[in-house]
Amino acid sequence: MRAPYGLNIIDNCATCPVREEHLFCNLPLPALQKLNEIKSTAVYPKSAMLFIEGQLPRGVFVLCTGKAKLYTSSREGKTVILSLAEAGNVLGLNATISNKPHELTAEMTEPGQANFISRDALLHFLRENGEIALRVAEQLSRNYYSAFEEVRMLALASSPSEKLAKLLLSWTTDAVRASNPSHIRVTLTHEEIAEMIGTTRETVSRLFSEFKKKQLLQLKGATLIIRNKPALEKMVHS
């Protein structure tokens, strides 16, 4: 049984897919108990901001349910989405560890719960749990690699079609754990997809039309079916 509010990190890990890269999953029991003492839980509706670019970090958020997008915007309102967060992901870690303003905004795209751990409590916890501090370093490193991949996507892909192909392929590998890896639930709008690959909404619309016409993929409601994965891979000359 689960409390109506205040999902435990433990509870969450019992339900979320076991992935060692989840910073606070599969921890030794004493550490988990300590984490559950210092965390607080809240529910967030769609479009809620967990934190905003430029704010000083108060602590980290561990997403239990729901989804969030992490993005940065220019003054003109142009936006890049750096990543999509799901259950198990830890948000705001870079800013919290380095105590610099948030470089990103975290906004819920699907309502859900998140555990909050304040900076002080986290640092204190890490100092007493060197093993987990090491996992924090690993997580920071993963964050770096994902920003790095975004750079490659933006700078090395020549055309929007190549970028979209790359994005779709990255979704198929994300979905490996799902029943059918060629079936992907797309909860993003074309606008948001455009913001992930650095192009415009219209271009994304046209590319989907084009890919459908070329039998590369098929759309059933919010489900995207990859029909010709090799052809997509051939488009990506990374």
Rank residues 40 and 159 by Cβ distance to DNA and give the closer one. 159
Q: Does 73 bind DNA (CB under 7 A)?
A: no
Chain positions 182 to 211 lying near a copy of itself, rule: CB under 8 A, are 198
Backbone angles phi, psi at 20, to 5 degrees: -65, -20
Stretch that binds a copy of itself, among 39-47, 150-158, 175-183, 201-209 (CB under 8 A): 150-158
| Cβ within 8 Å of residue 13, ≥6 positions away | 22, 24, 25, 26, 88
Structure token digits, residue 45: 């509706």
Binding partner at 55 among a copy of itself, DNA, none, C-beta below 5 to 8 Å by kind: none
Residue type, 28: P
| Cβ within 8 Å of residue 212, ≥6 positions away | 218, 219
Work out which of 2, 19, 46, 100 binds a copy of itself, going by CB under 8 A: 100
Stretch that binds a copy of itself, among 21-29, 30-38, 70-78, 106-114 (CB under 8 A): 70-78
Work out which of 16, 80, 167, 169 binds a copy of itself, going by CB under 8 A: 80
| Cβ within 8 Å of residue 2, ≥6 positions away | 8, 11
Stretch that binds DNA, among 129-137, 143-151, 200-208, 224-232 (CB under 7 A): 200-208
Q: Does 199 bind DNA (CB under 7 A)?
A: yes
Q: Is the dihedral of CA 209, 215, 220, 225 positive or negative?
A: negative
Shortest Å, Cβ 205 to DNA: 4
Structure token digits, residue 159: 């055309």
Q: Does 55 bind DNA (CB under 7 A)?
A: no
Q: Does 200 bind DNA (CB under 7 A)?
A: yes
**Nearest-CA neighbor of 65 among 134, 137, 4, 141?**
4
Q: What is the DSSP letter of 144?
A: H
Work out which of 89, 105, 139, 161 binds DNA, going by CB under 7 A: 161
Which parts of this chain interact with DNA (CB under 7 A)? 158-161, 189-191, 198-203, 205-206, 208-209, 219
